[in-house]
Amino acid sequence: MNINLVCIQDFEDHAFKVLPRSAFDFFRGGAGQETTLAYNNTAFSKFKIRPRCLKNVAQRDISTTVLGEKVSVPIGIAPSSLHKIAHPDGECATARAAQALGVLYTLSTGATCSIEEVAEAAPNGLKWFQIYVYKNRKITEDLIRRAEKAGYKALVVTVDVPVVGIRLADIRNRFSLPPHLGLANFEDRNSTDLMRSNKDGSGLANYVNSLFDASLEWRDIQWLKGITSLPIVLKGILTVEDALLAVEAGVEAVWVSNHGGRQLDGTPASIEVLPEIVKAVDGKVEIYLDGGVREGTDVFKALALGARMVFLGRPPLWGLAHSGEEGVEKVLQIIMNEFESTLGLSDSKSDQDV
């Protein structure tokens, strides 16, 4: 391990050097002029930490619980697709690293290792499964059955991708699934081949816009609740109105997110809208946040503003690109250490004090 890589930005800089350009752009990029992507990365600096002192922080506990399950830290791994583009071990390596550190891992529908392979690679780690709703509902239902059977503990339903965001870099690069890789959760080659059809731009956009169900409505959450007993987490909420509708729909948690700036450009940073959502939801369900979390101080700020957990999207991918499982572990350790240090320096013993 290169000891010069001491923060998450160092791992991103390293990934820029080693990944093919279209892969790096796919992972890093956002939608449109990337204003939301940039807000996500800068908005944390608007919030300042008020440190207290002399409160005996010799013993610090960074663990917490999420939907009733113990995790070693309130930092989880957000779902992201196509990990084998970053490293041949793909999502199995990411899940193993998460398991080693007691970190919650969320597997994407668009993974390059299957639901079952990841469950086998990290049998003792806490794992959630992220689902997209397909026009062909049977596809979604089958994925849910497999996730239940394989021991995933919650369903993360992503609601901010009725169509794919306009990702200019992917269009310019004609981004597509490399020929040696497949969408491991699908045996049907025809649909996977849609992701390779990049003559007019992004193959990923062709796939999503052809297959995902853009007619999804709030009442479909009842359909999902009716076909699974897993807790449901709604990912991609950015307004008080939708957070309240989510609570009314009976979901277990709301995940505040703008999809890492990859969907609608011009939306606020997720950390900006967190306080109003927390206030409106008033403790009725758990609230999580992702988008631009890169340092332990960001974790602290999100918790102080009412999030129960934060999630990392790109950082594990940078670790994976560096050295597979070991690199993901290193990235996680860095931010866990930073968070523990922030607790100490602000005179907090645990997330209860934040």
Ligand X SMILES: Cc1cc2nc3c(=O)[nH]c(=O)nc-3n(C[C@H](O)[C@H](O)[C@H](O)COP(=O)(O)O)c2cc1C
Which segment (15-23, 35-43, 200-208, 325-333) binds ligand LXCWX6NK by CB under 6 A? 200-208
Q: Which stretch binds ligand LXCWX6NK (CB under 6 A): 41-49, 68-76, 204-212, 317-325?
A: 204-212
Of positions 22, 41, 94, 109, contacts ligand LXCWX6NK by CB under 6 A:
109
Nearest residue by C-beta to ligand X? 313
| Residue placing its CB nearer to ligand X in the complex, 121 or 311 | 311
Q: Are the C-beta atoms of 316 and 352 separated by less than 8 Å? A: no
Which partner from the list ligand X, ligand LXCWX6NK, none does 27 bind, CB cut-off 5 to 8 Å by kind? ligand X
Q: Which of 83, 87, 259, 322 is catalytic?
A: 259
Asked if 114 touches ligand LXCWX6NK (CB under 6 A), the answer is: no
Binding-residue pattern over the window 68 to 87 for ligand LXCWX6NK, x denoting contact by CB under 6 A: -------------x------
Least distance (Å) between residue 43 CB and ligand X:
11
Q: Does 262 bind ligand LXCWX6NK (CB under 6 A)?
A: yes
What does 201 bind: ligand X, ligand LXCWX6NK, none (CB cut-off 5 to 8 Å by kind)? none
Task: Based on the residue annotation, tell me whether 259 is a catalytic residue of this protein.
Answer: yes
Contacted by 203, from ligand X, ligand LXCWX6NK, none: CB < 5 to 8 Å by type: none
Site for ligand LXCWX6NK in 170-189 (CB under 6 A): 183
Torsion-angle region of 151 (φ positive above 0: left; ψ -120 to 50: alpha; else: beta): left
Q: In angstroms, what is the minimal distance from the CB of 211 to ligand LXCWX6NK?
A: 8
Q: Is 110 in the site for ligand LXCWX6NK (CB under 6 A)?
A: yes
Whichever of 73 and 159 has its CB closer to ligand LXCWX6NK, that residue is 159
Binding site for ligand LXCWX6NK (CB under 6 A): 81, 109-110, 161, 183, 204, 207-208, 259, 262
Instruction: Report, as residue numbers or ranges, the catalytic residues.
Output: 259
